[in-house]
Amino acid sequence: AQSVSQHNHHVILSEAASLELGCNYSYGGTVNLFWYVQYPGQHLQLLLKYFSGDPLVKGIKGFEAEFIKSKFSFNLRKPSVQWSDTAEYFCAVNRGSQGNLIFGKGTKLSVKP
Amino acid sequence: EAGVTQFPSHSVIEKGQTVTLRCDPISGHDNLYWYRRVMGKEIKFLLHFVKESKQDESGMPNNRFLAERTGGTYSTLKVQPAELEDSGVYFCASSQVGVGAQETQYFGPGTRLLVL
């Protein structure tokens, strides 16, 4: 069965530190890739997505992700985190033929001011 | 533009009772998805509507769960009878139909269900 792995359950950083959250998926065919974020008390919202083209994708709030097909990875990065980035981050994948998203378990990010 | 809305935001019921969750998608979105997150686990797909038709219900846990989308607008998810393991957060998402599933799903705030 297709799966999505997020390597870190909980990450704690100080403000201005760099962030990289790992995401690997197991499906070998055509995939669409997403990172969603859930801020405390808010609903899931899209950070960025990759469908095709340039494997380096820029999203909202300074986030970016790189699709590396050979590694089945779609890691999320931000060069300098802020306290307001404290949230839970979800990597998700869908296959080219099916719209339903397959999610990783999520990574909680805590940023210390 | 209004986002995806869900009702109720919270529900606490006893085992054996019935609960009905409602989702109103973004206007014009033909795709409607239900997902569930059980505490400590990943968000899992339940089912997918395209307009009023069930496109994929492979994620529905068992026949205690019944989803409808009459008229292709809002959707309901009924759990009858509820069991303890049904507790979790139920999310609804909607999207416009995209080629090759290249669509952005917009999520509602979720309904937190607690079965005692």
* pLDDT, position B2: 82
Residue A18 has pLDDT above 70, yes or no: yes
- Torsions phi, psi for B99 (to 5 deg): -70, 135
pLDDT one-digit tens code per residue, A89-98: 999 999 877 8
Which residues on chain B are in Cβ contact (under 8 Å) with A32? 100-102
CB atoms within 10 A of CB B47: 21
Contact across the interface for B33 and A101, Cβ inside 8 Å: yes
Decide if A5 touches B, using CB distance below 8 A.
no
Residues from chain A contacting residue B105 (CB–CB below 8 Å): 46, 99, 101
Q: What is the pLDDT of residue B33?
A: 97
Sign, Cα dihedral of B63, B64, B70, B76: negative
A60-71 mean pLDDT: 95
- The set of residues, in sequence order, having a beta carbon less than 8 Å from that of B64 and lying 6+ positions away, is B79, B80, B81, B82, B83, B86
Residues of A (85-104) whose Cβ lies below 8 Å from B: 90, 92, 94-104
Is A32 an 8 Å CB contact of chain B?
A: yes
Helix, strand, coil shares of chain A, percent, nearest 5, are: 10, 50, 40
Instruction: Dump pLDDT digits (tens) for B46-103.
Output: 999 999 999 999 999 999 999 999 888 999 999 999 999 999 999 999 999 877 778 8
Question: CA of B11, closest CA in chain A: separation in Å?
Answer: 17
Q: What is the mean pLDDT of chain B?
A: 94
